[in-house]
Structure 1
Amino acid sequence: MSKQKKLGLSDLGGLVFSTNPEAMQSEPEEHIDTLEPAQQKLRVLLDKKQRAGKVVTLVEGFAGNEEDFQALAKKLKTKCGTGGSAKDWVILIQGDYKQKIAQWLLEWGYTKTKTV
């Protein structure tokens, strides 16, 4: 059984309810520009730590906004025909696709891609 952390009023930021419409002003989101593919320094590597011996391919080093990052991850997962995830700026593809992914990235214009 997992233990759940109990949240208090201080975890909500102090403000619980207000009738003032200006009280809950959200901060404007920063727009991050994505570097051109030729300027991206991507690293493709294999990993099997803490994965019960299963091999996964990692793609690290993407610099840009979240939408472009997720689009690249989806494109790679579709091209490999396998599952994976994209979080914390690391694309994780299930299986050993290191050489194929590196080749596809070079074809797509990511010229500074390295395999580790």
Structure 2
Amino acid sequence: MKELDKSETHLTVRVELRRWGKPVTVVQGLPKTGRSLAEVAHKLKERLATGGTAKDGVIMLQGDHRARIKSELVKLGFPDDHIEVF
């Protein structure tokens, strides 16, 4: 994840309801392409024990992970004050 300048990245985390009322945690603010997006998504899916996808600068994780995702992103090296959880 050396390609990604984490200090200049501002992340927004929110939960959307998808089909049949299923919650999906959405992380926005990452670069649209690149290996680093896939790496961050892979590490989040592992640490949160959930499925998900990453494309167009957005990571979608199955379920509502607002309670833990900020601490996991901080562990990955993102600054605490650059992460907003709604």
1:51 partnered with 2:22: no
Residue type matched to 2:40 in 1? L
Richer in strand (by share): 2
For residue 45 of structure 2, give the secondary structure of its aligned residue in structure 1.
helix
Q: How many pairs were matched up?
A: 83
Residue 65 of structure 1: how far off its partner (Å): 4.3
2:11 counterpart residue number: 42
Residue type matched to 1:40 in 2? T
1:99 partnered with 2:67: yes
Q: Aligned Cα RMSD in Å?
A: 1.8
Relative to the length of structure 1, the TM-score reads: 0.64
Q: 1:54 to 1:63 in 2, by over 3 A?
A: same
Q: Which runs of no fewer than 5 residues in structure 2 stay unpaired?
A: none
Q: Which runs of no fewer than 5 residues in structure 1 stay unpaired?
A: 1-32
2:84 counterpart residue number: 114
